[in-house]
Structure 1
Amino acid sequence: MNITLNQQKINETQSSLEIVILNKIKYLPIELKELLNNINFFKKSFNTHYDIKNNKLYVSCLKLKDEELKTAFASAIRFFKNLNIQDIKIDIIQSKKELSIQTIVEGLVLGNYEFLKYKSSNKIDKNSLIEIFIENSFKSKKKLESELKKALIISNSVNYTKDIVNSSPEDYYPQIMAEDAMQIAKSKNITCKIFGEDYLKEKNMNAMYSVGIASPHESKLIHLTYKAKNPIAKIILVGKGVTYDTGGMSLKRGDGMVSMKCDKGGGASVMGVIHALSSLNLPFEVHGIVGAVENMIGGDAYKPGDILTASNNKTIEVTNTDAEGRLVLADCLHYAQENIKDFDYIFDLATLTGASIGAFGGYTTAVMGYSEKLKKKISKASKKSGELVGFLPFNDYLEKLLESQVADFVNTSPNKNGAAITASLFLSKFIKDKNKKKWLHFDIAGPSYRKEVWAYNSYGATGVAVRLLIKFMEDLK
């Protein structure tokens, strides 16, 4: 897909198809009004009507808000795939409103995404030309070109993240994740360090090490660093990169393992953010820490009842080996705080609990932490980026559920009430007191991977949190 800007008059330019977003019917020719009324075109958003005579694809959008508009463009590009057409034109003015380039591009690029790597037919994507006509825009072409460039960088990084999550566990394991990280580090301003299991043992990172001990694939601690000149803030992103999760000895039941390639979603999103930063040139220093492991079963697997000593010397009674993500993050969070000094923010991202889905449904990231001010910043970034977040509160009563009679604490409570919160409270024990107000936990279990087409997201991985965190950074400038 090749998206360009065109300053010509749209009616004077030949193109195979024009996408027209319709919000109201009153400005339309009488014949078209009657036709659209007869097919209940405006009964709901995202209905389509193809006028083959005039080469126009009409898409209904009852609310001209960014998220609805993105879905409208996604609907159009999906319809377009079924046509023998090579080029599209779009007026930046739709329903008498100037649309943002970011909105148009995200709708088109994210809506166009398909993961076809394992399809025998593996359809070749149309090398289509999409022209956005900007003749009547209030912005200069230079400004719009800058917006187009940024929108493409972010959207392509979201799709990059999707590819990682969608990849089969058979051929995407910790070593491959590390190799992808090294590939990202070939870009300017980015470096990468990879540590194996010898390092984990040397640094007493026994929580993370134990999770991957039964896998034939060596666990990898990945440390990506993006550093701009004269950074205005230092940010740490820590991601759970469980490339496959059987549940360990606390084996998942039935079809519970089928989509567990998605358990690397947090680590993939961290890599997606760094991937975008390599081209965005934002004025920050950003560290991406990914704990890449595979949670398997075998004679040497860690077991319920084991007592693990984490790298901060806290002891953990393992009550459920399927609560492995928090063990990986525990050591990664401690590693980050020991090796990165004077940072401003530390966020962790993980497909951590099904309870977060129960709390908010499958489309919202559950966010927890101690700083209300920081939560407000994330809420603001959520509204601007379109990525949904919700906040869950801490309390002392739930923290008591993590108490152990034989260790400092258990990794999961037998009481499943508030499980998303207790998981976050467990992680908080690996955040130093001086850093509590700098930390937020993002449970992306719901929106990271959906077995459905959702708005402008395709089936499978969504690349969640990449746009959210980029917008958070942009707001800091």
Structure 2
Amino acid sequence: MLKISAHKESFTSIKADVAIVFVINKNTKHKWIDQKFLHDLAYQHKSPVLHQQAKTLYIPLGSLEVDSMREAGATAVKTLKSYPFKSAKIGFYTLPKSSDTSIMAAFTLGALLGDYSFDTFLSKKQPSSLREILISLESYDTDSAGATKERVQDFSKQLDEIKIITKSVNITRDLVNTPPQIATPKYLANYAQDLIKGTNLSCKILKKQELKKEKMGAYLAVAKASSKSPRLIHLSYKPKNPQKKVVLVGKGLTYDSGGLSLKPSDYMTTMKADKSGGCAVLGIMLAAEKLGLPLEIHGIIGACENMIGGNAYKPDDVLISREGKSIEIGNTDAEGRLVLADCLSYAQDLDPDVLIDFATLTGACVVGLGEYTSGVMGYNQKLQLDFTQSALDSGELVAILPFNRHIKKLIESKIADVSNVSSSRYGGAISAGMFLGEFIRESYKDKWLHIDIAGPAFVAKEWDINPYGASGAGVRMGVRFLQDISKISKARKQ
């Protein structure tokens, strides 16, 4: 793993193989920038460029903002992977004196996440020579030694937190990227059990017989045609004197063929990523435990495969969910909501103060919000706004999709309590969210949020800090939200 460290020494005095320098808003008038080199190169300020002789990597930035700096961190690491440099240094000399460490933290997070690659199955790997980035925090000529030392201490604490979060994101990416012949429901369950060894997390696994005892008829129907039996993974973190109880639920479809409503072949090729919600829940739980958050947290992952066969559940079937509600099946490719319905029922028995599910639930969410943004849904407007702010602060893009009574009518059934698909092609992300809402008890409606991460969970073309493949969507926003409600609860008690 790439090592990043903070230093009180000046940028010039730190020894490294290469320097990283920003060209901000095309301004080349700075002592660390070789204006002649860039002029002779006819530099267009569109991509990074390496000054080989000076051993300096110039990275263009439109502005000194957190989002831009996070992306710059990823860009720097990806660029330097092509060169034999083992160490790089950077100094945030351009920051205003009143600045906090958020800009530096964003660069660090971007660098650590930009360093990720999934090369498990490549016979010829391309390892990076870059081992370390050294950050100078002596950013201001007028700073006293005491101020610099204090900034190093503050940022070093922040750096520890960033490392925990990025490790959890990358573990989530690895798990999502693991192909379906390996990452079966059983594999996910064993992986979770192995991963939590040595932590304060506990893990309970419910197999098919336990799911039958729980009367999870919707969940079991989805898993019926697969040769791989389902697993419900229940992770728990119970610190002393928790401020609140939070339950996270994740869709863990290790593969989704669409069932008898078979997907076109082009739409099957990324379906290993249909477990992204469940993997995100695992990543959030790991980070929360490492950060020692003062919350009781449970993670429920509904893992199974949606396959075809003579015993597959069918359009026209009527299923009985754990909540006792009947569901008319209009399409077997709307399976994630069936698994989540029973998992959310199980989760409510834990009596949470906050209940959140993460799922790659609908292509309609991608159509509505694009590939970069997750949808936030629920009944409690304040809870939606609070989560949205936490998500945006974490660097993940989200937008609220509002429920309304007219869309609810679209999932009505004449022969069952509810239909698993809408009678209209429009508003599919919202109708799916409202379907889940049918299984939320009245006492928990104001405590529940549904997060549709279908857009950003799997990346076909690199963007921001995300490489090709799994992005780890949901982890950063989930962790930040847990941190924020911890701070609010603590402040109220004081």
Other-structure match for 1:301 = 312
Distance 2:183 2:174 in 1: 10
CA deviation after TM superposition for structure 1 residue 471, in Å: 1.1
In angstroms, what is the RMSD of aligned CA positions? 1.8
Other-structure match for 1:32 = 34
The correspondence for 2:410, drawn from 383, 390, 401, is 401
Does residue 456 of the first structure (1) align with residue 450 of the second (2)? Answer: no
| Partner deviation per Cα, 1:411-464 (whole Å, 9 max, x = no partner) | 102311111111011000110001101111001000111101111110111101
Alignment of 1:225-304 (within 5 A): 225-304=236-315
Other-structure match for 2:87 = 87
Structure 1 stretch 230-239 or stretch 93-102: which is displaced more?
93-102
Distance 2:32 2:434 in 1: 62
TM-score normalised by length of structure 2: 0.92
The correspondence for 2:377, drawn from 360, 363, 368, is 368
Other-structure match for 2:401 = 392
Query: In the alignment, residue 357 of structure 2 is paired with which amino acid?
Result: D
CA deviation after TM superposition for structure 1 residue 30, in Å: 11
Contact 2:82 2:128 (8 Å CA) reproduced = no
Distance 2:163 2:71 in 1: 17
Contact 1:42 1:60 (8 Å CA) reproduced = no
Query: In the alignment, residue 113 of structure 1 is paired with which amino acid?
Result: Y
Secondary structure, counterpart of 1:10 in structure 2: coil
Query: Per the alignment, do residues 214 and 148 of structure 1 end up closer, same or farther by CA in structure 2, a change over 3 Å counting?
Result: same
Alignment of 1:319-330 (within 5 A): 319-330=330-341
Contact 1:349 1:443 (8 Å CA) reproduced = yes
Other-structure match for 1:64 = 64
Structure 1 stretch 294-303 or stretch 224-233: which is displaced more?
224-233
CA deviation after TM superposition for structure 1 residue 3, in Å: 1.5
Contact 1:22 1:95 (8 Å CA) reproduced = no
Distance 2:53 2:127 in 1: 28
Contact 1:402 1:411 (8 Å CA) reproduced = yes
Distance 1:244 1:51 in 2: 47
Secondary structure, counterpart of 1:447 in structure 2: coil
Other-structure match for 2:49 = 49
Contact 2:354 2:447 (8 Å CA) reproduced = yes
Query: Per the alignment, do residues 322 and 66 of structure 1 end up closer, same or farther by CA in structure 2, a change over 3 Å counting?
Result: same
Distance 1:255 1:30 in 2: 49
CA deviation after TM superposition for structure 1 residue 188, in Å: 2.7
Does residue 171 of the first structure (1) align with residue 182 of the second (2)? Answer: yes
The correspondence for 1:311, drawn from 312, 317, 322, is 322
Contact 2:222 2:306 (8 Å CA) reproduced = yes
The correspondence for 1:133, drawn from 114, 117, 136, is 136
The correspondence for 2:221, drawn from 205, 210, 218, is 210
Contact 1:116 1:122 (8 Å CA) reproduced = yes
CA deviation after TM superposition for structure 1 residue 329, in Å: 0.1
CA deviation after TM superposition for structure 1 residue 472, in Å: 1.1
Alignment of 1:393-432 (within 5 A): 393-432=402-441
Contact 2:388 2:400 (8 Å CA) reproduced = no
Q: How many residues align?
A: 473
Other-structure match for 1:151 = 162
Structure 1 stretch 12-21 or stretch 181-190: which is displaced more?
181-190
Distance 2:183 2:456 in 1: 21
Other-structure match for 1:5 = 6
Distance 2:32 2:14 in 1: 25
Q: Could you tell me which runs of 5 or more consecutive residues in structure 1 were left unpaired when the two chains were aligned.
A: none
Other-structure match for 1:347 = 356
Secondary structure, counterpart of 1:250 in structure 2: coil
Other-structure match for 2:192 = 181
| Partner deviation per Cα, 1:276-311 (whole Å, 9 max, x = no partner) | 122111111111000000101111111111111011
Query: In the alignment, residue 85 of structure 1 is paired with which amino acid?
Result: F
Contact 2:256 2:271 (8 Å CA) reproduced = yes
Q: Could you tell me which runs of 5 or more consecutive residues in structure 2 were left unpaired when the two chains were aligned.
A: 140-146, 488-494
CA deviation after TM superposition for structure 1 residue 382, in Å: 2.3
Contact 2:376 2:388 (8 Å CA) reproduced = no
CA deviation after TM superposition for structure 1 residue 213, in Å: 1.0
Secondary structure, counterpart of 2:34 in structure 1: helix
Structure 1 stretch 86-95 or stretch 432-441: which is displaced more?
86-95
The correspondence for 2:231, drawn from 200, 216, 220, is 220
Secondary structure, counterpart of 2:322 in structure 1: coil
TM-score normalised by length of structure 1: 0.95
Other-structure match for 1:198 = 209
Distance 1:41 1:380 in 2: 38
Query: In the alignment, residue 28 of structure 1 is paired with which amino acid?
Result: H
Secondary structure, counterpart of 1:12 in structure 2: coil
Structure 1 stretch 272-281 or stretch 437-446: which is displaced more?
272-281
CA deviation after TM superposition for structure 1 residue 94, in Å: 4.1
